[in-house]
């Protein structure tokens, strides 16, 4: 029998739905997780979203993104953590499915 190292629950999300959610909640002009995270077609990317205070560095990044209404590369995890801390998203494992 195969030894299972871990079993966990995850939220599976389509990348288009994540794009719409982040765009609406952050006020961005068309968020694109594929471009921001450099995700390929027919793949998945996982985020561990936590409801904990962001570091001062991450908060500066969030403040900048909100002020400019623009994103920073590889910032999806930070954005999701922020949205969790302000009550817009539950903590947990999110697996974003990408296929176009």
**What is the mean predicted confidence (pLDDT) over 28-32?**
92
- Tell if the pTM clears 0.95, that is, is over it: no
User: How many other β-carbons are positioned within 10 Å of the β-carbon of residue 24?
Assistant: 11
User: Does residue 3 lie within any of the structural domains?
Assistant: no
Average pLDDT, the chain: 95
List the domain range (segments joined by +) for residue 33.
Answer: 10-98
pLDDT tier for residue 72 given thresholds of 50, 70 and 90 = confident
User: Does residue 4 lie within any of the structural domains?
Assistant: no
Count of domains forming the chain: 1
Would the pLDDT of 84 be above 90? yes
User: Does residue 30 lie within any of the structural domains?
Assistant: yes
pLDDT tier for residue 73 given thresholds of 50, 70 and 90 = confident
- Tokens representing 37 are 């995270």
User: Does residue 1 lie within any of the structural domains?
Assistant: no
Q: What is the pLDDT of residue 71?
A: 87
Q: What is the pLDDT of residue 22?
A: 97
DSSP letter for 90, please.
Answer: -
User: Does residue 45 lie within any of the structural domains?
Assistant: yes
Q: What is the pLDDT of residue 24?
A: 96
């Amino acid at each position: 029998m195969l030894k299972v190292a871990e079993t966990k629950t995850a939220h599976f999300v389509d990348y288009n739905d994540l794009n719409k959610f982040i765009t609406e909640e952050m006020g961005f002009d068309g968020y694109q997780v594929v471009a921001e995270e450099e995700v390929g077609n027919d793949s998945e990317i996982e985020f561990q979203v936590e409801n904990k205070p962001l570091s001062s560095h991450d908060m500066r990044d969030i403040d900048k993104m909100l002020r400019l209404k623009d994103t920073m590369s590889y910032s999806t995890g930070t954005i999701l953590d922020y949205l969790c801390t302000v009550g817009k998203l539950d903590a947990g494992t999110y697996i974003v499915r990408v296929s176009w």
